[in-house]
Amino acid sequence: MSQQPDTIAAVATPPGRGGIGVIRVSGPSVKRIAEAVVGGLPRPRFAAHRTFLDADGKALDSGIALYFQAPASFTGEDVLELQGHGGPVVLDALLASVLSRGCRIAEPGEFTRRAFDNKRLDLTQAEAVADLIDAESTAAARAAQRSLTGAFSRRIDAFGHELLELRTWVEASIDFADEDIDFLADGDVAARLDQLIQHLAELRRQTQHGRVLSEGLRVAILGAPNVGKSSLLNRLAGHDAAIVTDVAGTTRDVLRERIVLGDLPILLLDTAGIRETVDPVEQIGVRRAWSVVEDADLVLMLRIDGQPDPAQVDPIFAPLAGDARVLPVHNKCDQSGGTPGLREDASVGVSALTGAGVEALIEQIRQRSGLQANLAGEFSARRRHLDAIDRAWAVLRRAAEQLHVHQAPELLAEDLSEANRTLGEINGPVDTETLLGEIFSSFCVGK
């Protein structure tokens, strides 16, 4: 028999002074705690005005008590919410009163973790709770809400069902190999497999959009020293986020600045100037710059207008030659006399000092993000979702090879099964406790 879970409690509203503060309690001891703190359980799902008692049984506050009976609650357990005045002293005393009645402080994300464990939410819906709280734009909030209501989960489940149907068809051809019917030779399996690959490509595109909305587009600003990287960061951020001097090597570490351009959340990453150097501190900064580039969605390759492409003339920038993530940016157009804005070679001329051409750069960043003006169908997603889809894509491509080249139905069936298992990691179940711990540890304590 499984051990009965602890009863947990936490403040569910932000810290600090406010008009209303909420204590949330979940677990098997809710009834006993309610009797001690508010004189008994309210009627399920009806607000009751009650006096809140402190740990000594004295009146501490008055407010609204709400009871959600298991399993019809967020966590799937009995849940009690106490809505009182939002002063930190009052809330701390009320939480201490609840804890003294036999429960413990909730860990970060533990309420949502229990909702997942009790099958009130699947894993993508649980993650969408945090994405909705952390949303940095209206579009991101709406996308997270769609994931919370199951939009992303339904897409994954539907694709898994298609995979299962095709796998059943292939395994039938194996089981009835002695019959005169050849299921693989009629072309239907190949057509359905190709269609699955196309559907997965479209799902990946939407998932990438959802990942950008929830996590932000990672934009690295790269270039030689003194080409204006920090000035451009400040111009895009709208304030002096980075120190700007004429001294080469001023930026030694990666500077991170979160901004929102329209509905597009962006993580700007200002890196150290890339050059050969004997300065050990600057060498560390260069190594970190390259590490940022590896993980970036977009790289703004900055150079002074009129100078040649660094990737073509400087060996240190050679790894970026032909990289589709690179957007060439010519800075200091105000000094060179060059034309600001989008150019015929798809580069952008700007002046970080005056702001000329920056709007054109912003538009190019948005276009490179892949997000369209109409985001009505988007859902929130994360990098782990993209990783699972990419791995499933690779398996399906291998499956196509098993079918078209090797004519190996047993291997094809196994690949279809592996692709299904891989996509199953997105919604759950997940067997790795460490992965679940990482996912829920980023949540608010009250969630």
Query: Tokens representing 351?
Result: 């002046």
Q: Lowest mean pLDDT: which of 27-36, 61-70, 270-279, 314-323?
A: 270-279
Do residues 231 and 244 touch, judged by C-beta distance below 8 A? yes
The whole-angstrom separation of Cα 138 and Cα 277 is 44
Q: What is the CATH number of the domain that holds 298?
A: 3.40.50.300
Total domains present in the chain? 3
Per-residue pLDDT at 88 exceeds 60? yes
CATH at residue 29: 3.30.1360.120
276 and 197, same domain (yes or no): no
In this structure, are 320 and 402 located in the same domain?
A: no
* Rounded Cα gap, residues 208 and 362, in angstroms: 19
This prediction's pTM: 0.76
**Pick from 316, 256, 252: which is nearest to 285 by CA?**
252
CA distance 135 to 215: 9
Same domain? For 227 and 311 the reply is yes
- What tens digit of pLDDT does each residue of 153-194 get? 999 999 988 888 888 878 777 766 555 555 556 577 888 889
Whether 207 and 220 map to the same domain: the answer is: no
Residue 67's alpha-carbon distances to 387, 396, 439, 444, in angstroms, are 40, 48, 28, 21
Chain centroid offset of residue 345 CA? 33
Q: Do 298 and 360 sit in the same domain of this protein?
A: yes
**Same-domain check for residues 180 and 103:** no
Residues 158 and 282 in one domain: no
pLDDT tens per residue, range 384-400: 999 999 999 999 999 88
What average pLDDT does this structure show over 34-58?
95
Q: What are phi and psi of 129, to 5 degrees?
A: -60, -50
Report the number of secondary-structure helices (H) and strands (E) in the chain: 15, 13
The domain of 46 spans: 8-119
The residues, ordered by sequence, that sit 6+ positions from 344 with a Cβ below 8 Å of its Cβ are: none
CA-CA distance, 277 to 220, in Å (whole number)?
21
Residues 286 and 350 in one domain: yes
Residues 250 and 353 in one domain: yes
CB-based contact 101:36 (threshold 8 Å) = yes
Average pLDDT over residues 267-287: 79
Q: Are 105 and 9 in contact (CB under 8 A)?
A: yes
Is 377 contained in some domain? Answer: no
Q: If pLDDT is split at 50, 70 and 90, which confidence band does 2 have?
A: very low
